[in-house]
Amino acid sequence: MGNQQSQFEALIIPHAPALLRFARRLSGSATVAEDLVQDALLRAWRSVDTVRNHANPKAWVFRILLNTWYSEGRRRSARPVEAPLAEAARVGQASPGDTSEMMQALGRLPEEQRSVLLLTVVEGFTGQEVAGMLDIPAGTVMSRVSRARAAMRASLSEEAAGEQKKAGVGLP
């Protein structure tokens, strides 16, 4: 128990904020994210003895979180609609102005693109690590990242064009 506890505290708990941040962007709900991270951490606790077999404990616990998310997908889909992303933004202290545009564009991405973008660009995992987490080829990961970037850029451009248009309408 002592060794298990110390491994858990040293290797897993430090990643809790990153897991929560990712879970909120993945689920779009602060409440769902907290439940998801709690379930994932408890699953990690039960098999923490095996973490030393993994080169990257952070990748290991993120994989557990994703497995928890997908294994509970059916149950989740049967639930009422969860608290909206706006709640996450409020609780997550999203930055105002263009930051929220970026976050809104991210939120509009399909889940499969949003997750790979967050895992690679934000959390810094390699394509190979993300491929291992999602059980998909590394090439698929990279193509999803490309499509996600393109979709976000397009979304942000549209947003900027709309703002300019609105500003133009307002001129005398």
Site for other proteins in 24-63 (CB under 8 A): 24-25, 30, 33-34, 37-38, 41-42, 45
Q: Which is nearer to other proteins, 25 or 58 (CB)?
A: 25
Q: Which is nearer to other proteins, 20 or 131 (CB)?
A: 20
Residue among 11, 19, 85, 133 that touches other proteins (CB under 8 A): 19
Please, are residues 29 and 88 in contact by the beta-carbon 8 Å criterion?
Answer: yes
Q: Which is nearer to other proteins, 110 or 135 (CB)?
A: 110
Site for other proteins in 130-159 (CB under 8 A): 149, 152-153
CB of 27 to other proteins, least distance (A): 12
Secondary structure (H, E, C), the chain: CHHHHHHHHHHHHHHHHHHHHHHHHHHCCHHHHHHHHHHHHHHHHHCHHHHHHCCCHHHHHHHHHHHHHHHCHHHHHHCCCCCCHHHHHHHCCCCCCHHHHHHHHHHHCCHHHHHHHHHHHHCCCCHHHHHHHHCCCHHHHHHHHHHHHHHHHHHHHHHHHHHHHHHHHCCC
CB of 140 to other proteins, least distance (A): 19
Q: Phi-psi category of 125—alpha, beta or left, where left has phi over 0 and alpha has psi -120 to 50?
A: beta
Residue among 50, 71, 95, 157 that touches other proteins (CB under 8 A): 95
103 contacts other proteins (rule: CB under 8 A): yes
106 contacts other proteins (rule: CB under 8 A): yes
CB of 38 to other proteins, least distance (A): 5
Contacts of 93 (CB under 8 A, 6+ apart): none
- State the residues that interact with other proteins by CB under 8 A: 1, 5, 8, 13, 16-17, 19-21, 24-25, 30, 33-34, 37-38, 41-42, 45, 91-95, 99, 102-103, 106, 117-118, 121-122, 149, 152-153
